Structure 1
Amino acid sequence: MQEFWELNKGTIIYALCVVGIVCILRIATYYLYKFIERKSALKYQGEDIAPIHLIKRILNALWIVLGIMALAFIVIDEESYKRAQKNFEIVFYLGMVAVITLVVASLVRMWFKRAIAKKTALNDDTTSYRFLRYLAVFAVYFVGILLAILAFPSLRGIAQTALGGAGLIAVVAGVASQEALANLVGGLFIIFFKPFRTGDVIKITDTMVGTVTDITLRHTVLRNYENKMIVIPNAIINKEKLVNYDLGDRRCCEWIEIGISYDSDVDLAKHIMREECEQHPNLIDNRSELDLHNEVPKVLVRVTGLGESSVDLRAWAWAMNFPEAFVMRCELLESIKKRFDKEGIEIPFPHRTMVFKKEQLQAIVDDLKKEKAVENDEKEG
């Protein structure tokens, strides 16, 4: 036993030191994780701590892998020692790059989240911060990947070219698709020219109307009035003509359009529409001082067309914003319809006149007579 100890004393001490260092590093990682978790819970309540869990798992796995590789130095020959040492350095380097990238990305995300919260509390526009948050986090991960590539000699030229500055756009353009680049550029145009901001109510098509909740590198998210999220690529938004109900004056003019029959009293119908509009709680007085002086009605009602079967009437009703205008329009259509029914104002509906040839008409009459005769026979029977 003494002889075995003397022969392998250095190896045994080395192995014990490696195991001890790995255990110390894992314990230190555990206590550091607990410390950061407590601090985050106290200082940043409600913050996502998933990145902290991920960093802890990466470090624990890294210490074990490095420990195994260090123990493998005992059994390898001198020719393989340099290659194993190189692999050890690469693994350590990649682990540190992954940890640092996650830490920096978490700090960037946390900073933007707090900045957005402050802007929201002050009722300031947060659109730029929301978009730049995605751009900054993407840049952190992109640089982290490039730094990881530097560990491999065969790929080092690509990383150095990209990190050089001018090659960055070329690398991105070569890897990304044309559609992805179009969405990215579209997002930048939205941020720079500000056709809308987060919180604005916009209309792209009749089926894409809602409140802007987020603008990312790829798409814009709308929440419609069914509480459904509509995800629209930025490239599509930049090609479409959109209506921003919150850009400038938020007041909204709603058209209340109803057709009445030619036999109905036009003046009475106009009076009913004006009266119902003026009684609605969402209606606002949008008249100017000159309109008030000239005694212009609060709600204008005019004949806008003479259709094939109806006289088309339109009332111009103003509300404070688009949501209130939409509710007002729906409720006014219902209340005006009820008043029309009560006052005898007819709303026309489609009629169809069918013309039959004499032979066809006679055949129909004969069939009806036969059916009636059969019914009579059945009753007598």
Structure 2
Amino acid sequence: MQGFFLDFFHSVSIVLILIGALVLSQLSRKGLNRYARITSANIRINPTTFSFLKNAISFVIFGLAIIVILHLIPGLEKLATTLWASAGILSVVIGLATQQTFGNIVSGIFIVIYKPFRIGDTIQLPNGNHGIVADITLQYTVINNAENRHIIVPNAVITRDYVINSTIIDDKVCNQIDIKIITQDLEAAMDLLKQIAMSHPDFYDPQQSDISEVKARNIVPAQVQVVDLADNWVTLRLSVWCKSSTKAFSMKSDLLFSIKKQFDAKGIRI
């Protein structure tokens, strides 16, 4: 009688373990599907890779369930113990081999959640590389620089150090141009610099924007200062605000061209 109840208990336990493994497998697959839908706008997941991840999780869950079931069957305890030991060794090997990969995946998830930068933001890395974030994948962040070259940075690397984000809070940029000139009328040269800067289409005027009045008062849209004096020349610094960080370099190039052209026309030597 005791043997009958023991066999019945083992049979019920095996059925419950299989049902639990099935439920856990389905919940895991639904969780991965939900994660993919939420992050699909920011992270591209290859369908083949995603399917592999779901099948791998199901395989691991049912593999563990089978090992537990073998423990319940008399005479197979040693086999189950051997399988547990093999699984432990295998997990250590896999963990060491994929440590960097999982680190990149976790870092990519943190980037999506906390958003230190987003696709379309202009960022600069500690090594001086800068550009626009073109893509954020499970493994890498892709940055498109001014030469239209793609800088591919592992997510674990980009989250380990600081990043200068020119877009996330305020996209406006203050361009500074230093010019050494020779002139008898310094004030006229300074006024001309201001006129050239303020006539550019990308010039930012806080008085014509929707920012607060207090913040507008703290921004000088175009300013010319004397920063150095020499025997033969004066160094002027033009500080002018640009509407967008992506247009700042083009605006600076346009201003240099206009300054050279109009100063030559006015007889101001550079």
Q: By the TM > 0.5 criterion, same fold? A: yes
Find 1:268's aligned residue among 163, 188, 199.
188
Residue type of the alignment partner of 2:243: M
Find 2:165's aligned residue among 223, 244, 261.
244
Aligned-partner Cα distance in 2 for 1:291–1:283: 17
**Higher helix share goes to which structure?**
1
1:212 alignment counterpart: 133
SS in 1 for 2:135: strand
Q: Deviations over 1:167-211 (max 9, x none)?
A: 97x56533324x445434432432333211122221225852222
CA shift, 1:137, in A, is 5.5
1:203 partnered with 2:203 = no
Residue type of the alignment partner of 1:334: F
Aligned-partner Cα distance in 2 for 1:239–1:114: 25
Instruction: Within 5 Å, give how 1:70-81 maps onto structure 2.
Output: none
Q: 1:115 to 1:218 in 2, by over 3 A?
A: closer
SS in 1 for 2:257: helix
Superposition TM-score, scaled by structure 1 size: 0.47
1:320 partnered with 2:243 = yes
Aligned-partner Cα distance in 1 for 2:268–2:151: 41
Find 1:186's aligned residue among 107, 123, 134.
107
Q: Which has the higher contact order (CA 8 A, sep 6+)?
A: 2
Aligned-partner Cα distance in 2 for 1:266–1:230: 45
SS in 2 for 1:270: helix
Contact 1:301/1:314, CA 8 A, preserved across alignment: yes
Aligned-partner Cα distance in 2 for 1:133–1:300: 54
Aligned-partner Cα distance in 2 for 1:182–1:115: 18
SS in 2 for 1:143: helix
1:333 partnered with 2:260 = no
2:53 alignment counterpart: 139
Contact 1:203/1:209, CA 8 A, preserved across alignment: yes
Find 2:173's aligned residue among 253, 257, 266.
253
Residue type of the alignment partner of 1:284: Y
Q: 1:114 to 1:258 in 2, by over 3 A?
A: same
Q: Deviations over 1:287-323 (max 9, x none)?
A: 4747999xx9752111234479753322222232111
Unpaired stretches in structure 1, ≥5 consecutive residues: 1-103, 117-125, 348-381
Q: 1:143 to 1:258 in 2, by over 3 A?
A: same
SS in 2 for 1:212: strand
Residue type of the alignment partner of 1:221: V
Contact 1:131/1:215, CA 8 A, preserved across alignment: no
CA shift, 1:262, in A, is 5.3
The alignment yields a C-alpha RMSD, in angstroms, of: 4.4
Contact 2:36/2:45, CA 8 A, preserved across alignment: no
CA shift, 1:231, in A, is 0.4
Aligned-partner Cα distance in 2 for 1:171–1:237: 26
Q: 1:308 to 1:241 in 2, by over 3 A?
A: farther
Find 1:285's aligned residue among 205, 210, 219.
205
**Higher strand share goes to which structure?**
2
SS in 1 for 2:237: strand
Identity in percent: 29
Aligned-partner Cα distance in 2 for 1:139–1:158: 24
SS in 1 for 2:204: coil
Equivalent residues, number? 223
CA shift, 1:146, in A, is 4.3
CA shift, 1:335, in A, is 0.7
Contact 1:134/1:217, CA 8 A, preserved across alignment: no
Aligned-partner Cα distance in 1 for 2:53–2:231: 63
Instruction: Within 5 Å, give how 1:1-381 maps onto structure 2.
Output: 108=33, 112=36, 116=40, 126-127=41-42, 130=44, 139-140=53-54, 142-143=56-57, 146=60, 156-157=83-84, 172-177=94-99, 179-204=100-125, 208-250=129-171, 252-261=172-181, 265-287=185-207, 289=213, 298-306=221-229, 311-347=234-270
CA shift, 1:133, in A, is 8.7
SS in 1 for 2:206: coil
Give the number of the structure whose alpha-carbon radius of gyration is greater: 1
Contact 1:304/1:314, CA 8 A, preserved across alignment: yes
CA shift, 1:284, in A, is 2.1
Q: 1:330 to 1:176 in 2, by over 3 A?
A: same
Q: Deviations over 1:51-80 (max 9, x none)?
A: xxxxxxxxxxxxxxxxxxxxxxxxxxxxxx
Aligned-partner Cα distance in 2 for 1:135–1:305: 61
